[in-house]
Structure 1
Amino acid sequence: MQKILVVEDDQVLNAGLCYNLREGGYEPVSAYNLEQAQSAFSAMEFALILLDVNFPEGDGFQFAGYVRERSRTPIFFLTACDMDADIMKGFDAGADDYMTKPFNVKILMQRIRAVLRRYQEQPREGQNGERYFCGNLMIDFEGYVVKKKGTPLTLTPTEFKLLFKLCRNPRIVLTRRVLLEEIWDAKENFVDEHALTVQMSRLKSKISDDEYSYIKTVYGMGYQWIGEKHE
């Protein structure tokens, strides 16, 4: 049974979330502050972290950064902060999804399942240990490893799937709709409108440099893998 860490200081809401997660077939673990969250994260392995933003002793963005430095564990923000800037900050902190309060429990559970599915459905190409070299990047599709100039990069599952999709379709403009439907289950509407823009921007910032840009933004259409060419 997959463990989900529920980091929420409202005890009633925390209990309600845990109840619904148990009903959905998951094993929830409650944390009511960031210290408890960090302790639980250090002691156990989680399939996903459901995380509030506002805590008396700090904010969830900081904890998300702490997690992302150490793990690819999916992070799902669930918070009352509904300003665009807050949502963007959540994705910049390493979130895989972001939902604002109040929320529909059924939709929340569907989106949690969608995040976990993206994490579990790792790319299958390169099963014979195939590695893809481009510019100063080395991408091991089987090992889920990306190195830049020999240094490993920390990518979220969503960022890796975007990278996989792009570099497996070189010189083809992948529209926003295609990427949303294939990676964020947009046909079921379980996607935040900012997700693709923010995740793509973060991916580009991690892999590109002054020498190689790799990904070209085709304004009004989508994105294109240009490899070693300059945008």
Structure 2
Amino acid sequence: MEHILIIEDDDILAQGVKLNLTLAGFDAGIAPNLKTAEQMVKSGGWDLLILDVNLPDGDGFGFAKALRAEEDVPVIFLTARDMDEDMMRGFSAGADDYITKPFNVQILVQRVRAVLGRYRSGKEKREQIRTGNLEIDFESWRILKNGRELTLTPTEFKLLRKFCENPGIVLTRQVLLEELWDKDENFVDEHTLTIFMSRLRNKISDKEHSYIKTIYGTGYQWVGE
């Protein structure tokens, strides 16, 4: 059973969405604000978030963007903001779908199923990736470039996987440091990260493919082919 978190301050609306998701076979929880949502997300176990934009303690766009830089979980915006520029901001923040109020709750359920289906399919394929002149198999920790095997260190593979799991998303240097080393309680400074990044880029890049773009003053972005 998939677990859906509804982040919505309108309790009547949230309870209605929760009821319909439950009837459709999902397990749903409700967070009335971003502070509660952040705590619930950190507890883990959520397969998808339904996120309002206008919340009492912040902006859903910023919450989604920060979340997608650290967590691999699909997000559907459910909001009254129906302007094109709002939808563009939503997708730029990492949304997998964008639904405007008022809405048909049965259509919402179907779109939840569609997003989860695409996500499951993509996750199954993510262990083996082909992009540009690279063939990457994360399960066996092998990478081929133009058919020839490259030698990557475990840390370089961790970096590569983090980028491949977050295509198009700017990963800050702090996020990369926390992902790779803080979880193991090993301290590595930013200078060491720069060295690892340089080595990885030198191995996978060539004149035709750069793969990783530097976002000066912020971090790095996987641009794929």
Q: Same fold (TM over 0.5)?
A: yes
TM-score between both structures, scaled by the size of structure 1: 0.60
Q: Which residue of 1 aligns with 2:22?
A: 22
Describe the shift of the 1:133–1:97 C-alpha distance in structure 2 as closer, same or farther (beyond 3 A): closer
Comparing both structures, which one devotes a greater share of its residues to helix? 2
Superposition pairs of residues 69-148 of structure 1, within 5 angstroms = 69-122=69-122, 132=130, 134=132, 139-140=136-137
Q: What whole-Å deviation, never above 9, does each CA across 1:64-121 have from its counterpart, x for those lacking one? A: 0121011110000000000000000000000001100000111111111000000112
Count of matched residue pairs: 163
Secondary structure of 1:6's counterpart equals: strand
Measured after TM superposition, the shift of residue 20 of structure 1 is: 0.5
1:65 to 1:210, Cα distance in 2 relative to 1, 3 A? farther
Question: What amino acid does structure 1 have at the position aligned with 2:74?
Answer: P
**Length-normalised TM-score, structure 2:** 0.61
Paired residue for 1:47? 47
Which of the pair has more CA radius of gyration? 2
From 153, 156, 171, the equivalent of 2:163 is: 153
1:148-227 aligned at under 5 Å gives the runs 151=159, 152-153=162-163, 155=165, 212=209
- Matched residue type, 2:163: L
Identical-residue share of aligned pairs (%): 46
Tell me which stretches of 4 or more aligned residues in structure 1 moved more than 2 Å.
122-126, 129-135, 137-143, 149-152, 208-214
The CA RMSD over aligned residues, in Å, is: 3.6
Question: Using the alignment, how far apart are the partners of 1:138 and 1:28 within structure 2?
Answer: 38
Structure 1 gap ranges (5+): 161-207, 215-226
Measured after TM superposition, the shift of residue 53 of structure 1 is 0.2
Residue of structure 1 in register with 2:8 after alignment: 8
Question: Residues 142 and 106 (structure 1 numbering): CA distance in 2 closer, same or farther, change over 3 Å?
Answer: farther
- Structure 1 position 56, deviation (Å): 2.3
Unaligned 5+ residue runs, structure 2? 144-151, 169-204, 212-223
Deviations 1:25-61 (A, max 9, x none): 0010110000000000001211100000001221101
